[in-house]
Structure formats: structure tokens, C-alpha cells
A and B are shown apart, each in its own frame.
Chain A
Amino acid sequence: MALVRWRFDDPTDASSYTFDMNPNEGGTPTLKKNMSYQNTAGPNGVVLAFEGRDNVETLTVSGVLKEEVQLIAFQTWYAKRHQITVTDDLLRVFTIYITGFNATRKRSIAYPWKHDYTLEYIILDWV
């Protein structure tokens, strides 16, 4: 099976960015309902269980950047103030908004721009 690389797409200007290396961790969103509970007063009373609006689905992926251009590309996509789409190696497409990008420099003689990174985003929609 051929390697499928992750890709960012920005429909507003038709730009895209294909990852040089796919993330090595994460990629499937966490789903969580918004629950509230109140106890009724009786000793055998029921628990009032309320469900609110679902929490926003968040997702974190992490990986390695080796080149300066890769770092700049992530910073550029992070700076976009609107939703974009991401297509992962399983060809799942999410509409996302990037909420965090954390790059930590790693020592490497061969790749002076090597960083470990963590990318955080929320999922606004599944396409």
C-alpha cells in the first residue's frame, strides 16, 4: 500500500500543503459529551442527569520536523484565522481550526532545524 501523506487544504485560496513526514502520534479525535449532574434530596432519589451541547472535539498530533521549510510551513498554517481541512493518511477529511502549535528543538548534526512538534486543533466538521 502506497504511503498517503497528510495534507492541509485552504479552500479560501485553494492553497495546500502536503506533509513531508506524517505525524507519528495521534490523529483520531476525542469525543466527549457535556454532562451535568445534580442529586435529588431523597436518600433513594434519582440523580438528575443533564446533557448539554457536546464539547468541541479536540485533537492533538505530534511528529518531527527536519527542515526549516517544514517549520515555516506549520507556522504559516497555524496563523490562518479560519477553518481549513486536513486529510489524513486514512483519507479522513476534517474541517479544523488549529488552536496550538508547539515545536521543541532537538539536537541533530545532520538536521540542525530538527524539531519535535505538537499540533492541536479542534474539529468543526467531518467532511
Chain B
Amino acid sequence: MRDLPVIRSLWENSNGVFLGDDKPHGVVTVEKDWNLTTTSSIYGSDNKGPYRWFVRADGSQVETEIPNVKTISTSRSIDQDAGSCTITVYNQWMDLTGTASPDPSSLGNPGYLGFNFGSSPEASAGFSQTANVWANVLVPNALLRTYQGYGGYTDGVPDSYTSVITAGNIAITGVWFVDTVSTGTDGMITLKCRDAAKLLLEQHLMPPLTPDGLPLRYCRFLYEHILATEGDPGSPAVEPATVAASGQPVGTTYFDSTMERWGYVDSLHGHRFDAVSDGNNRTSSFSEGTFSPTAVFNRNFWEVRVNAEVNEIFINPSNSSMGTIWISVREGGSWVQRDDGRRIPWDDANNDGFSDSLAAGQPSSQPVRGPNIDIPYLRRVHVDNRGRWIRLPRRPLPTDPSVESDVYDVQRIRITSIGVWNSGIGPYVYRSTCQEINARLVQETPTEEGGTPAVPPTPGTPAQTIQHDGNIFDYTEIIKDLLLWAGFLFFESSPSGGADVHGLMQFTGTYPANCIEEDFFDKKSVMEAINAIRDILGFVFFITEDGGVRFHSPNWWSSGNTLGNGDRTFYIPDIRDELQLTTYSSQYADDTLRSEIIVGSTLPSETDDTTQFSRYQPDNNGILRGMVKPAIWINEIWQLPVEQAFTAAIIALHLNFQSRKGSLTALANPEIQINDQVRISERVSSESYIHYIRGMTTSMDLDAGTYTMSLSTNWLGEQDQWVFDAQYFVDNFSEQLTSLVGFDAGIDYLPAEPSGENTIAAVDGSFGSGIP
């Protein structure tokens, strides 16, 4: 629903008189210099670019009005991927009186607006044509905008279109990309166009549309299945002639980290620096992110207290790409030195907060998170994502140098890392991680002959599973990425935050239970991928008149409409048979109705008791008269009874919509959009109900001055006689399904009267705090 008060007033109150200065008004412009412009990989605080855009946030595009427009016809539908538009233009340019036509045999300059008018020497010589300002303008992929409405004339002469827009008499009714240009001897140019969905249909998900090197894999959670190996953590290492006689981890407590020195002193942003010593193998600590895997400040440490005698240290960096890890041990009030005196190559000798001894060639002006970083270390190791126990080196005991031992009276352990990996989280994705630091004392004793050594876990069998946050929290974030790459960036020359999508999107409240893998997207058009996710959620996706996107729950849960800024409104346009409605027909059919909807995980079988299915009996107002006419859908996606029951109810809802439809023609109203609700008042069919607009076409003939629309609708009923029992969904599914199928978002529409608090958030900057 659009808020166009001037047009609404004329549409509601003109009593059918659209004459003189109130007659229909249509304008078509072309943005001659547009290109699908690409940003760099970093845009504002987002770094998953390059993104693409065709709309400037400041509206500074230069538009040129196309003269001689005769007709503008548009078509949009919830059920079609792209809206379409056909524009016809008189292909003629009249010379001013007193100016002789270049071709004395022709009146004016027929063909003047054609893209190749006078472009060849032969045409120039033979037809006295010269290329003009319209050369190569009205061509495929020209970017057109249509503006339509009523009024905006002075003594029958149209005012400048910009002033008419400002006055509110006309409003944008489409942003169109030309598919086909037809010219001919009839003196007309016909432009067949699609809306901005063309960008989603024509472009496919592969580099360079998607960022090179960024895997298209979306996960709410990442799971590490750690397989047992020889010497696996927690398993006594069995060596020839020895057996571990002890080895229980002593536990650690967090002491210090680079994250804390950076100021992230709480668990916000997922850093959770204390996760390294919480004994929980499902949590990890993430460093602050950086923009590059080679940035010199990819250096982090975690330090934990031990205060016990130990000789093995356990490190799980949570990822195999962490590279070199230095292990430092503090004993007797100082960091233990190696014989060769080596220290971590990361110095800040003058204590100014910047490194002084990074590797040669690296800038020395990078922050190093504070002083005293270049401490001694005992071991330098590589550890994969399974983690491992690392034995400390033997050294002469401080109390008796004649005795060597690998046992240390450890006060604290620090591990330092320069490795990062692409976590996919936040605007700066390259992070160090550490899942756990622990320590233990393993005393080895000779195996007694005939004794029974401890049995290690079988290598290759699962030992434990660790859950991490993935790279999304909501389905909508996937849609956002796809749209930004395809061209729907709402471009700001100096972005203040992250990348915003041009349009209106709604968080779904849910996420994929399993990772969406690359093959889900591979070489699909962007629209195919979006539609696949849309269908999982039961959302709608379409392009609006201003070229933006809409992605949200369908507008049928309660009466009312959603404005362009996401606000809900009571206003429902009333199309009345004595004022606007010219024809109406309704259809009520039983071909789509079913007595029962059954959704099952597999086909029912007497011998297979693992089959899970749910039944839903729609309220068909007794139309089927007792006939048994079930529908069965087998889909292994839905395994839980509540999921299946919800799916069955939604299917029944859609079938019910299809059984009762309306079709009308009326005076056009640019306020009305698909997915809106209108009330139809027509006495022959005794129609006075609210309908959901499924499809809409408009037709404007500027010669004849006609401007009409056709709507295809689904019957919704009245507030107290709604087409379906919305409360049924609330009672049966709202709690159970919140995290399963995205119903949470739709449920907010259910109150009969909009509360004023909308659940649709403009995308601009509304995608959560993210992780810095």
C-alpha cells in the first residue's frame, strides 16, 4: 500500500470526472547513463562485496523525459517472478515552424527516437538523417521509470513532470529494464520491459556475481565432529612399555587476552574470551575480526591460570587454519625461558602500544594490544581443529638441575597465535579462535607384564561434537546477500553503516536447520535461489513500483495493509460499483478443495513404523458434502508432527484461496499494490468483502485519457468472518514453530487490529548489531 493522498483524494472523490486539469497523467523517463555499478569488496562496515547498485539513496539520478508517449501498460503478480510493462511511443519529432525538414519528402523526422536513427552513412545520405540525442538510448536494458496519476495540468497543458511529482499528482509506478525494442513503418516504438526482477532472473550465482573466494554456504551453526585418534584428548596415550597412570585435566580459569585489551570485556559480539577455560566444548572464543588474512595485526593471545603441576597442555584452536601457535608457561613468577632464549616475535619494547619488531617488511605502526607481548615461549606448534595434548619439553629442575623433568609448576599458560580463518561472521570475518585451554599431569610408568593397559578409543569413531555459531542467524540474511550482489544495494556515496538493500524485508525468525550448501545456489539464477527460500518460509517476494524489493509474510493474516515504510495501516481501499468499479466477476469452485490434507515423511506403510504423518481437515463450509477427497504430500523435509500439521494447514489455506477468487476492472489507483487488501463493493454478486490482491494490471492511454486497472483477487472475508481461522494458527503453532518454519514473523500480523508496532523493518541498518 502506498500513501499518495492527492491521488487518493481524486480517486475517491472525483465522482468519475477526470477532465481538464484533473485528467490522467503519465510520464516516462530514461536514465541515460545508468550502469549496474559495482562497489569494492568493502562497503561501509560490510565486506562481502563487491555489491551492485542501480538506485542512489539520494535520488540524484539524471532522468530524461521520453516524448510522444502514447500508452503505458503494466502487469504484476504475486505468482510471477517479474512485473512487466509495455510502452508505446510515437517515433516522430516535429521541426519548429520555419525549419525545413532535412528530408523534404517527409513531415518532421519520422524515426527520430530510434536507437539507430541516422547512424549509418547510408541512412544519413539516403534519408537525410543525422544521429541525435536519442542515439542508443531506447535500447535493451535502458532504465525507464514510469510516473502516473491524475492532474498536473494548467489549462490542459501538462506542467513539468518534476513539479507534478512534487505536487503529488503523479507517483512512480515502475522502474523498468527494457527487454525488447520494436520499431517499424507504423511510426511507433514499442518498449517491452521487466521490472528490476530482471536483475535476479538474468544473473546467476557464480563468480564474479558472487565474491570470488567466498563460499556460498550458509549455516546457523557449525558442528565439529571430532574423531578419536591415537593419543586423543582424554584418552591415555599408549606408548610401548608405558601407560598413563593419571592425566585428568586440572582445569583453568581465564586471566587475560587480546580481546580484553581491545576493550571487548563482555560476552557481546561472540568474543567470549572466557570460553577458553569454561570446560565447555561447545563454546569458543573469537578474536576481533580483521579484513584480511594477512593483516599484520592478526595477532592474539589467550592466557589462563593453572596453579598446578602439569606436563601436558591441551589446546583446541577450533579451526585447522590457525597456523603457528606459541605456548608460554609462567612458573615462579616469570615466563619460562628456552635454552635458546627465543621469544614471541611480537615486541613493543618502548611500550607505546605499537609493535617494534614485527617480521621484516611489515609496517611497524600496527597496534599490538598493549605491552609485554614478546614473552618467552616453550613450544611452537600447529594444532588442527580437533585439538591435542602437547607435552612440555624436558628441562633441568630449578630445584635440582641434575634432574631433568617435563613437569612444571605452572601458574599460567598463554597461547599466542598469528593465524586467522574466514569465520564468515560479522563485517570483518578473519578471526582467531580458541575453544579450550587445559592442562594435566601424565605420569608414565612401565607396563607390568601381563597387565591390562588402558584401551584408547577406536581411531576414526566420533568422540565429541562441538557447536559454533555459523554465518547467519536468519534466513533473511541470505536473501540480503543475494540481493546486494545482484544490484539492490541502496547506494550511499558515504555509507554510515552496513550495506542496505533497496526495499523492505522482514526477518523470518528462523534459520535453516542444516547448512545450506553451495550446490543449493550453484549456477542458479538469483531469483531461483530466492524463490526456493521464499517457498520454505511461505513468504512473498516481489518488486515494488520504486524498484525495491519486498520480502515478508503475505498480507492475509489480518485486515489492513502495510505502507512502504513498514507501518501497518487500517486503510483498505474500497472499490465501489457506483464510483470506480466497472466490471466484476467472482468465481467459487470446488476443484481445489480437499476433505483432508495429509503431510507425511514417507508413504504410509504397514511394515514401516517409522513413517510420520499429520492430518488436517479444512473447514470447507460443507461444500464437499461428505465426499472423501484427500490430498497427500510426502516430503522428507518435515519430520516433526508439528511441522507437518502446520504445512498441511498452510496448504489448505492456499487451496481455499484458490476456490474463491475475484476479478475486476476499475479506475486505476497507483496507491494499490499487489499483496494489498481491498474491499470490493458490488451489488449483483453481493460482494462487500475484503480481498487479497494477487495480480494487477494497469492500462493508460494518453491519447484517449483512460487509466484503468484490473485486479485478480482472493477472497478474505471480513474481520469477524475471515477466510480461515487465524486463531487456529496462533493456538497450535505459534510457540512450537517459532524456530522451525518462520511462522514467528507471520504471527505478528494476526491481531485483528494493527497495534501500530510493525514487525516489518526497513532493511536500512536493521540487520542487528553484527560482530565488529
Which residues of A approach B to under 8 Å, CB–CB? 11-13, 34-36, 38-54, 81-83, 85, 95, 97, 124-125
Contacts of B576 in A (CB 8 A): 42
Q: Which A residue sits closest to B20, measured CB to CB?
A: A51
Is B707 located at the chain interface by the 8 A CB criterion?
yes
* Distance in Å: Cβ of B561 to nearest Cβ of chain A: 23
CA distance A13 to B99 in the complex (A): 9
Answer whether residue B519 sits at the interface, using C-beta atoms and an 8 A cutoff.
no
Picked from A36, A38, A43, A97, the residue with its CB within 8 Å of the CB of B582 is A38
A53 & B582 in contact (Cβ 8 Å cutoff): no
Interchain CB contact (< 8 A) of B682 among A11, A41, A46, A124: A41
Q: Which residue in chain B gives the minimum CB-CB distance to A85?
A: B97
Q: Given A42, A48, A82, which contacts B95 in the complex, CB threshold below 8 Å?
A: A82
DSSP majority for the B interface? Answer: loop
Partner of B584, one of A13, A41, A124: A41
Query: In the complex, which of the residues A40, A53, A54 has the most CB atoms of chain B within 10 Å of its own CB atom?
Result: A40
**Among the listed A39, A40, A42, A81, which residue makes an inter-chain contact with B105, where contact means beta carbons less than 8 Å apart?**
A81
18 sampled A-B residue pairs with Cβ under 8 A? A36-B701, A36-B705, A40-B577, A40-B581, A41-B581, A42-B581, A42-B683, A44-B578, A46-B579, A48-B580, A49-B18, A50-B23, A50-B706, A51-B23, A53-B702, A82-B101, A83-B97, A124-B97
A39 to B706 CA separation, bound complex (whole angstroms) = 13
Interface residues on B, range: 35 or more
Residues in A with CB closer than 8 Å to B62 are none
**B666 to chain A: closest residue by CB:** A40
Q: Which of B23, B684, B708 has the most CB of A within 10 A?
A: B23
User: Apart from A51-B18, A124-B97, what 4 extra A-B contacts exist at CB < 8 Å?
Assistant: A39-B582, A46-B578, A50-B705, A83-B97
Q: How far is the CA of A82 from the CA of B107 in the complex (A)?
A: 5
Determine chain A's interface SS by DSSP, over half rule.
Answer: loop
Is B731 an interface residue when CB atoms closer than 8 A count as contact? no
Nearest-neighbor residue (CB-CB) of B582 within chain A: A38
Task: Tell whether, in the assembled complex, residue B705 and residue A51 are in contact, meaning their CB atoms are under 8 Å apart.
Answer: yes
- In the bound assembly, the distance between CA atoms of A80 and B537 in angstroms comes to 68
Most buried by B among A34, A35, A38: A38
Chain B, range 2-39, C-beta contacts under 8 Å to A: 15-20, 23-24
Closest B residue by C-beta to A96 = B97
**CB atoms of B577 and A49 under 8 A apart:** no
Rounded to whole angstroms, the CA-CA distance of A94 and B497 in the bound complex is 62
Smallest Cβ-Cβ distance to B705: which chain A residue:
A52
Instruction: Report yes or no: B97 in contact with A95, Cβ–Cβ below 8 A.
Output: yes
Contact with A along B577-611 (1 / 0, CB 8 A): 11111111000000000000000000000000000
Complex CA gap A48/B704 in Å reads 13
**CB-based contact B19/A36 at 8 Å:** no
Q: Which of A12, A39, A41 has the most CB of B within 10 A?
A: A41
- A50/B707 contact (C-beta < 8 A), A82-B95, A82-B107 known: yes
Complex partner residue of A54 from B101, B156, B581, B707, CB under 8 angstroms = B156
Verify A41–B16 contact, CB threshold 8 A.
Answer: no
Residue of B nearest to A125 (CB): B97
B703 within 8 A of partner (CB):
yes
Contact in complex: B577, A45 (CB < 8 Å)? yes
Nearest A residue to B701 via CB reads A52
Q: Does B208 contact A (CB under 8 A)?
A: no
Q: Given A46-B16, A50-B705, are A11 and B581 also a contact pair (CB < 8 Å)?
A: no
Give the residue among A35, A39, A51 with the most B Cβ atoms within 10 A.
A51
The CA of A35 and the CA of B703, in the complex, are separated in Å by 9
B-side contacts of A97, CB under 8 Å: 107
